Chains A and B, each alone.
Chain A
Amino acid sequence: MELINFEATELRLGLPGSTEDHRDVKSTNSPVNSNKRSSPEMDSSVSDENDPSRSPPPTKAQVVGWPPVRSYRKNILQGKKSEPERGSGIYVKVSMDGAPYLRKVDLKVYKSYGELLKGLQAMFKCIIGLYSEREGYKSEYAPTYEDKDGDWMLLGDVPWDMFLPSCKRLRIMKSSEVIELTVSAFFFGRNKTTK
């Protein structure tokens, strides 16, 4: 038998919400009773009782195989998001000198410069080398990027974590051209390319 809710009729001098603790306890109790369907964590387990007042699961659940879209199709669509949506990927354009086509790459997929270079290499089927002050360029091509200030920088100059948010696009240049860039930077203070 339920008692009258004295609290509701109670006259008090106090800020509204001062009985919050009490109310919270009540509200955390109710989902257990009213939602008879599977809790979101236990995917696809079924309730123990049939509750006519069922409601949808309170939170967004990752249910296996639902909706019934073939994983093949899901994978294709995952890779198709062209703009970064809700921080799902950092897509930047990649161009390579002498190549007619641009590619796009998701920087979020890589954890380091090494991995990124491997990915670019696979994409463009060439050997790209990281520039090293001492050794110069190990290969014919060198990777550069345009940062948010519009400057063209050599890949590897800054720590990876700093690089990620600042990279606007990538360009794989011929090594010889990179040297020109650094020279002009030395003299004129900025790296600019015609592209």
Chain B
Amino acid sequence: MSKRLISGADQVLENVLENVLIFLTSRRDRNAVSLVCKSWCRAEAHTRSDLFIGNCYAVAPRRVTDRFKRLRSVYLKGKPRFADFSLMPADWGAHFTPWVYVMAGAYRALEKISLKRMLVTDDDLAVIAKSFKGFKELVLVCCEGFGARGLGVIATECRNLRVLELNEDEVLEDEFDWISCFPSDCTTSLESLCFDCLESPVNFEALEKLVARSPLLKKLRLNRHVSIQQLYRLTSLAPQLTDLGTGAFGLQDIIDPQQPAYQEPDHGHTFAACKSIVCLSGFRDLAHEYLPAIFPICANLTSLNLSYAHVDAQQLKSVIRHCHKLRIFWTLDSICDEGLQAVANACTDLRELRVFPTDPSENAEGPVSETGLLAVSLGCRKLQSILYFCQQMTNAAVIAMSNNCPDLEVFRLCIIGRYRPDWVTGQPMDEGFGAIVKNCKKLTRLAVSGLLTDRAFSYIGQYGKLVRTLSVAFAADGDTGLKYVLEGCTNLQKLEIRDSPFGDSGLQSGLHHFYNMRFVWLSSCRVTKQGCLEVARRLPKLVVEVFRRDEEDGGERGDFVNTLYMYRSLDGPRADAPQFVKIL
């Protein structure tokens, strides 16, 4: 933005405004403020310290640094969520590199970077480490492209590092000892260290010393190569932990010739000292006989993640009956409906439940069903968010949940068998999902599955006024379904659809709304290249990408486009699109 001469009075006004705006933290409020007038826009830009960019291709890095001069924290999101399920070709994009170089030049005082679904290289990490002197927090979620070497540079250079969190990243296994890179001569400022997604073992001796000299450490998430014996040693060094990822929680690991002969450790004491732990996860290689070790801290837990452990109903019951304060619970369906009933009995304050499938194949025997869902709806009335994988479901149970849990904001039901109707009535699942959008007045996120007709989508369009994210797969009868959604869901931001018979005419019905959305994803649907071209022509600020997946066999789909991914952008089509991506 070019400097223009403003009067002294105007400048005073802006300064006053800036002093007020410092207190404004919500990004929605800030966006609103910036739209008032140019003066307010400038003032807001000067005082914004936390920046959120939901789609890294919506805006060029240079535009960001031109507008915002004093950022402390940046949160960037790259690929859309369906990339997690192998629906996006490798090397599609979302490179962090151009961002890091531009920001390195502009923001000396940047302290925090959070990235989700971006491609980050070791070099990028090195640039972060060397460019931002007071760097404090690095959070990488579902990212890839970097290895332990990059982590090593961060550990070495960032002397003020408080937070280093790796969350479901795919880290290159380069066998580099990054833990030893933390400076060894003094205490660290580390408050959070999470590497539970790391596939290679870390140097335990170095880790132990690191924990010993990190008195502020509150959050520690270990990977599966840390055995229960080693965990015990760490927790006794850090009794102040509030969030613990337990690693294997079983017998494991490499032979240490210096180890004393194997002795059964006293597990009663393992966690007795850790009275502050409220969030527990890990159990990556659970030895079930050790589960009772966590009983002493269950009563304090607000969050428990057992979703990497095969825990059956009996084993779960012994744990969950202590967990009265639990708000977040993630589990495998190995706990069965019986286990879910136990959750419903014990966790009346539950807000978020996720039930993942042990066996993700269709036609498998499902250990959880409508029975479990109903039980949870009756016991956990304050439920706000649910993700539920199952093999069979009924409308009745879903309707019951819509009535019992009016606070639901996130409802994601995945009936693994595609096109499965209500198995009791043989009817489509329309009425169930219809009840959800109708009765759950706070619903912002919805994922549907099972046998669905256009009627389900008419309900969604009619009642889903607050829905911002909608996920659809293997559903509907035709274009009308998409029309209902695009015309009815006025707050829709993110639409991801696969394998549903939505075509060009359905797509056209959203032309009035696409500029308000973060993105639209349609794969294996019935949109043609012509239809996509038409959208691109009518909406020039929309980047319309069309591509195929690598593994796609089955030949050409004729006129139908394989994947359509479109999003608004202030800076036109991206320059880094690979060959297989066509931007219309």
Contact surface of A with B, Cβ cutoff 8 Å: 37-38, 41-47, 50, 52, 54-57, 60-61, 63-74, 76-77, 80, 82, 96, 98-103, 123-126
Q: Is the Cβ of A124 less than 8 Å from the Cβ of B254?
A: yes
Within 515-554 of B, Cβ neighbours of A (below 8 Å) are at 523-526, 549, 551, 553-554
Q: Report how far A102 CA is from B262 CA in the complex, Å.
A: 11
Count chain A CB atoms within 10 A of each CB in B85, B259, B500, B525 and give the residue with the most: B85
Q: Report how far A74 CA is from B307 CA in the complex, Å.
A: 11
| Shortest CB distance B6–A (Å) | 51
**B473 interfacial by beta-carbon distance below 8 Å:** yes
Q: Is the Cβ of B82 less than 8 Å from the Cβ of A96?
A: no
Q: Is the Cβ of A56 less than 8 Å from the Cβ of B417?
A: yes
| Shortest CB distance B582–A (Å) | 20
Q: Is the Cβ of A67 less than 8 Å from the Cβ of B419?
A: no
Can you list 26 pairs linking A and B with CB atoms under 8 Å apart? A37-B474, A46-B560, A54-B419, A54-B451, A55-B419, A56-B418, A57-B418, A63-B418, A64-B85, A64-B87, A66-B473, A67-B389, A68-B82, A68-B84, A69-B356, A70-B168, A82-B310, A96-B255, A98-B255, A99-B255, A101-B253, A103-B252, A124-B254, A125-B254, A125-B255, A126-B255
Q: Is the Cβ of A45 less than 8 Å from the Cβ of B524?
A: yes
Lowest 5 A-B CB distances belong to which pairs? A65-B85, A100-B262, A42-B554, A44-B524, A99-B255
Number of interface residues of B (CB under 8 A): 59
Count chain B CB atoms within 10 A of each CB in A66, A98, A100 and give the residue with the most: A66
Q: Is the Cβ of B420 less than 8 Å from the Cβ of A64?
A: no
Majority secondary structure, B binding face: loop
Count chain A CB atoms within 10 A of each CB in B84, B168, B389, B451 and give the residue with the most: B84
Q: Is the Cβ of B554 less than 8 Å from the Cβ of A50?
A: no
Within 452-489 of B, Cβ neighbours of A (below 8 Å) are at 471, 473-474, 477-478
Q: Is the Cβ of B557 less than 8 Å from the Cβ of A45?
A: yes
B19-27, B231-239, B359-367, B372-380: which lies at the A interface?
B359-367
Q: Report how far A69 CA is from B360 CA in the complex, Å.
A: 8
Partner of B262 from the list A37, A68, A101 (CB cut-off 8 Å) is A101
Q: Is the Cβ of A64 less than 8 Å from the Cβ of B549?
A: yes
Q: Is the Cβ of B501 less than 8 Å from the Cβ of A46?
A: yes
Q: Is the Cβ of B85 less than 8 Å from the Cβ of A66?
A: yes
How many residue pairs link A and B with beta carbons under 8 A? The number is: 115
**B284 interfacial by beta-carbon distance below 8 Å:** yes
Q: Report how far A61 CA is from B524 CA in the complex, Å.
A: 16
Residues of B within 8 A of A73 (CB): 307-308, 356
| Shortest CB distance A121–B (Å) | 12
Residues of B within 8 A of A67 (CB): 357, 360, 389, 414, 416
5 extra interchain contacts, Cβ-Cβ under 8 A, other than A57-B418, A63-B418? A46-B524, A65-B86, A66-B474, A71-B84, A77-B332
Q: Is the Cβ of B261 less than 8 Å from the Cβ of A100?
A: yes
Q: Report how far A90 CA is from B297 CA in the complex, Å.
A: 37
**B498 interfacial by beta-carbon distance below 8 Å:** yes
Q: Report how far A77 CA is from B84 CA in the complex, Å.
A: 16
Residues of B within 8 A of A82 (CB): 310
| Shortest CB distance A105–B (Å) | 13
**B197 interfacial by beta-carbon distance below 8 Å:** yes
Q: Report how far A42 CA is from B356 CA in the complex, Å.
A: 27
Count chain A CB atoms within 10 A of each CB in B86, B255, B553 and give the residue with the most: B255
Residues of A within 8 A of B85 (CB): 64-66, 68-71
**B358 interfacial by beta-carbon distance below 8 Å:** yes
| Shortest CB distance B373–A (Å) | 16
Q: Is the Cβ of A61 less than 8 Å from the Cβ of B362?
A: yes
| Shortest CB distance A126–B (Å) | 8
User: Of all chain A residues, which has the CB nearest B262?
Assistant: A100
User: Of all chain B residues, which has the CB nearest A57?
Assistant: B418
Count chain B CB atoms within 10 A of each CB in A60, A64, A102, A125 and give the residue with the most: A64
**B499 interfacial by beta-carbon distance below 8 Å:** yes
Q: Is the Cβ of B551 less than 8 Å from the Cβ of A72?
A: no
User: Of all chain B residues, which has the CB nearest A77?
Assistant: B358
Partner of A102 from the list B251, B261, B498, B499 (CB cut-off 8 Å) is B251
Within 553-579 of B, Cβ neighbours of A (below 8 Å) are at 553-554, 557, 560
Partner of A69 from the list B142, B170, B284, B357 (CB cut-off 8 Å) is B357
Partner of B82 from the list A43, A47, A65, A99 (CB cut-off 8 Å) is A65
**B303 interfacial by beta-carbon distance below 8 Å:** no
Residues of A within 8 A of B253 (CB): 101
Q: Is the Cβ of B86 less than 8 Å from the Cβ of A64?
A: yes
Q: Report how far A80 CA is from B286 CA in the complex, Å.
A: 9
Q: Is the Cβ of B170 less than 8 Å from the Cβ of A72?
A: yes
Residues of A within 8 A of B420 (CB): 56
| Shortest CB distance A174–B (Å) | 13
| Shortest CB distance A36–B (Å) | 10
User: Of all chain B residues, which has the CB nearest A124?
Assistant: B255
